[in-house]
């Protein structure tokens, strides 16, 4: 069945129950009462900082947009691009595209005008839906994207080069369109994160989306009483596929527009959230704020918060040790996945395996895994090789890119490009991205292992290890270190700390600087290589 049937079921069985809550904390910074109370006394709901959407309203909005698209000649299989910040309209628009039989094409909100143009062309998108944050970027390219025949604007003060989504959907039917959709119909094109180059267009069908719903609920046991706090951007498979657990269970979710630690804790407390998916930097920021005294936990009711899970990147065991010392009653979990495997869950740790923190886990619900050498043969347990996964969520292809498709799809298996090894109990540990491996004097160095070690230092907020060119060794490991606020750290102190590592793994260069991460928390190593490789490096001796 298509994923749209879950939405229609929820609208039918729980029509007046809240499906989504949008919270914009920056609009309520001065409020001395709860966000909900503050929103209730504001004359304009759209400017109150907190809005709600029931399942019935959600479904009706999706139907209206689907009918608008159909009235404009959108046919089954046409591509509709979505360029929006997280908001109440995001998911109804996404499901409206699917209900029209079209293919949803979410775009990264960080894309430049040139990248937006590139992705619209690569995906063959014929329609673009965008929000106020992107007026300048879309205006810059709107005369250069002939394949895009219509542009809809979501928000007030519609620019002249677009049409008002809000005005047009007002006049559309709210009944579900009569479009037959099957499991094998294409549903969405997601773009790779760009951490390994320019984005690729990843094509999925409805069966993959439905499987991701089942994977998420199987792993995290979402029930009707759960409330998921969604902070990452909805354009990314990670955020949306975790929200799919709310969709399949008919439970509430909160879209929080901001990542300040105080906002996250307050949202959990006031909205009674039970599940929170964090990225590593956000979890670190929350713990740092608590330790500094910026957050007084006694002022919040967090008794209903049952699960904290992290994905999108390797998780330092030291971070989870700190987290459990502050929140001992929380279940912890991690998921591994790629947009090519419909987001999180093809590998899953499981809350019962807290003793294996540091591992990404074993094959997730309905998935298979293997670790292979360069010839595609499985390596012996304990040896490092490339992780491959197979299951119902593997992409159909890289759209319009058969060469790249052939490089990663081998029969039912998706070659992930991630180097990994399996321990004696069958748990998989990520070692590093295949292309991030540093070969220094003939030795393979895996940056993630070095990063995990350096993060144990109590003055280190974040760290990234990259390879720098070296005439004698080919490459050397350089550690770029971001120091915690209020701490000091010197190169000598870092080197002394690293003496516990084998000599060949120790970084030969220490650089103090901020660590750039993309919206899903992944370190932007291409950006770091661009900054530091081939340059004369002057290391700061002390960082405050």
Span 179-197, pLDDT tens digits? 999 999 999 999 986 544 5
- The closest of 104, 417, 60 to 234, measured between CA atoms, is 104
- The closest of 212, 251, 259 to 231, measured between CA atoms, is 259
pLDDT at 173 over 80: yes
Q: What is the rounded CA–CA span in Å between residue 105 and residue 88? A: 18
What band does 523 get if pLDDT is binned at 50, 70 and 90? confident
Query: In this predicted structure, what is the pLDDT of residue 112?
Result: 87
Decide if 452 is inside a domain: yes
Tens of pLDDT, residues 267-323 = 999 999 999 999 887 898 899 999 999 999 999 999 999 999 987 666 778 889 999
Decide if 504 is inside a domain: yes
Query: In this predicted structure, what is the pLDDT of residue 316?
Result: 77
pLDDT at 469 over 70: yes
Decide if 530 is inside a domain: yes
Decide if 265 is inside a domain: no
Q: What is the rounded CA–CA span in Å between residue 20 and residue 31? A: 22
Mean of pLDDT values over 324-340: 93
Query: In this predicted structure, what is the pLDDT of residue 32?
Result: 82
Decide if 489 is inside a domain: yes
Domain count, the chain: 1
**Higher local confidence (pLDDT), 523 or 148:** 148
pLDDT at 457 over 90: yes
Mean of pLDDT values over 190-206: 80
Tens of pLDDT, residues 235-261 = 988 888 999 999 999 999 999 999 999
% of the chain with per-residue pLDDT over 90: 70
- Please state, rounded to an integer, the average pLDDT across all residues of the chain: 90
Decide if 231 is inside a domain: no
Decide if 42 is inside a domain: no
Query: In this predicted structure, what is the pLDDT of residue 472?
Result: 66
**Higher local confidence (pLDDT), 504 or 83:** 83
Q: Which domain holds residue 460?
A: 437-543
**Higher local confidence (pLDDT), 519 or 194:** 519
**Higher local confidence (pLDDT), 114 or 83:** 83
Residues whose CB falls within 8 Å of the CB of residue 364, separated by 6 or more in sequence, listed in order: 215, 219, 335, 337, 345, 346, 347, 348, 391
pTM of the model: 0.84
Q: Give the burial string for 304-331 (b: 16+ CB within 10 Å, else e).
A: ebbbbbbbbbbbbebbbebbeeebeebb
Cα dihedral 124/129/132/136 (nearest 10) = 20
Mean of pLDDT values over 483-503: 91
Mean of pLDDT values over 16-38: 91
Mean of pLDDT values over 25-32: 84
Asked whether 360 and 428 are in contact (CB, 8 A), the reply is yes
Residue linked to tokens 């039970």: 274
% of the chain with per-residue pLDDT over 70: 94
Mean of pLDDT values over 392-402: 96
Query: In this predicted structure, what is the pLDDT of residue 196?
Result: 43
Query: In this predicted structure, what is the pLDDT of residue 441?
Result: 65
Tens of pLDDT, residues 122-142 = 999 999 999 999 999 999 999
* CATH code of 466's domain: 3.30.300.30
Cα dihedral 86/154/516/501 (nearest 10) = 30
Decide if 314 is inside a domain: no
Mean of pLDDT values over 222-242: 92
Query: In this predicted structure, what is the pLDDT of residue 167?
Result: 96
- The closest of 77, 45, 82, 78 to 165, measured between CA atoms, is 82
80-84, 503-507, 515-519, range with the lowest pLDDT: 515-519
Mean of pLDDT values over 422-448: 81
The token duo for 507 is 């970084």
């Amino acid at each position: 069945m298509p994923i749209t049937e879950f939405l229609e079921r929820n609208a039918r069985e729980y029509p007046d129950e809240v499906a989504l809550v949008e919270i914009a904390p920056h609009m309520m910074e001065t409020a001395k009462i709860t966000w909900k109370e503050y929103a209730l006394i504001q004359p304009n709901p759209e400017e109150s900082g907190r809005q709600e959407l029931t399942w019935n309203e959600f479904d009706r909005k999706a139907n209206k947009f689907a009918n608008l698209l159909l009235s404009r000649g959108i046919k089954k299989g046409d591509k509709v691009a979505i360029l929006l910040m997280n908001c109440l309209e995001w998911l109804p628009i996404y499901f409206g595209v699917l209900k029209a039989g079209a293919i949803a094409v979410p775009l990264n909100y960080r894309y430049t005008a040139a990248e937006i143009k590139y992705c619209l062309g690569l995906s063959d998108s014929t329609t673009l839906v965008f929000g106020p944050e992107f007026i300048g970027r879309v205006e810059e390219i709107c005369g250069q994207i002939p394949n895009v025949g219509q542009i809809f604007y979501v928000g007030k003060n519609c620019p002249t080069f677009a049409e008002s989504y809000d005005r047009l959907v007002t006049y559309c039917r709210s009944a579900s369109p009569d479009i037959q959709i099957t499991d094998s119909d294409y549903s969405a094109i997601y773009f790779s994160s760009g951490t390994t180059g320019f984005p690729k267009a990843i094509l999925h069908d409805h069966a993959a989306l439905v499987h991701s719903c089942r994977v998420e609920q199987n792993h995290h046991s979402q029930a009707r009483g759960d409330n998921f706090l969604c902070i990452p951007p909805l354009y990314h498979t990670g955020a949306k596929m975790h929200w799919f657990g709310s969709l399949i269970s008919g439970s509430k979710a909160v879209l929080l527009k901001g990542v300040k630690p105080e906002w996250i804790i307050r949202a959990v407390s006031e909205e009674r959230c039970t599940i929170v998916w964090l990225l590593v930097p956000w979890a670190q920021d929350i713990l740092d704020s608590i330790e500094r005294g910026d957050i007084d936990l006694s002022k919040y009711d967090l008794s209903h918060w049952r699960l904290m899970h992290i994905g999108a990147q390797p998780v330092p065991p030291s971070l989870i040790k700190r987290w459990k010392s502050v929140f001992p009653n929380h279940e912890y979990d991690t998921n591994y996945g790629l947009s090519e495997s419909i987001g999180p869950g093809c590998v899953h740790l499981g809350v019962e395996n807290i003793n294996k923190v540091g591992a990404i886990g074993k094959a997730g619900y309905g998935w298979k895994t293997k670790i292979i050498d360069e010839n595609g043969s499985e390596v012996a347990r304990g040896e490092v090789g490339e992780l491959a996964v197979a299951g119902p969520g593997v992409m159909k292809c890289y759209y319009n890119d058969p060469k790249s498709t052939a490089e990663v799809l081998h029969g039912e298996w998706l070659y992930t490009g991630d180097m990994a090894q399996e321990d004696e109990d069958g748990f998989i540990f990520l070692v590093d991205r295949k292309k991030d491996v540093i070969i220094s004097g003939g030795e393979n160095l895996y940056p993630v292992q070095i990063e995990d070690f350096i993060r144990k230092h109590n003055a280190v907020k974040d760290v990234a290890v990259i390879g720098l060119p070296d005439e004698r060794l080919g490459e050397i490991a350089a550690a770029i270190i971001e120091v915690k606020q209020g701490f000091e750290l010197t190169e000598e102190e870092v080197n002394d700390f690293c003496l516990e590592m084998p000599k060949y793994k120790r970084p030969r260069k220490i650089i103090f600087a901020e660590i750039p991460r993309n919206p899903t928390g992944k370190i932007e190593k291409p950006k770091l290589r661009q900054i530091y490789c081939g340059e004369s490096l002057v290391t700061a001796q002390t960082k405050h």
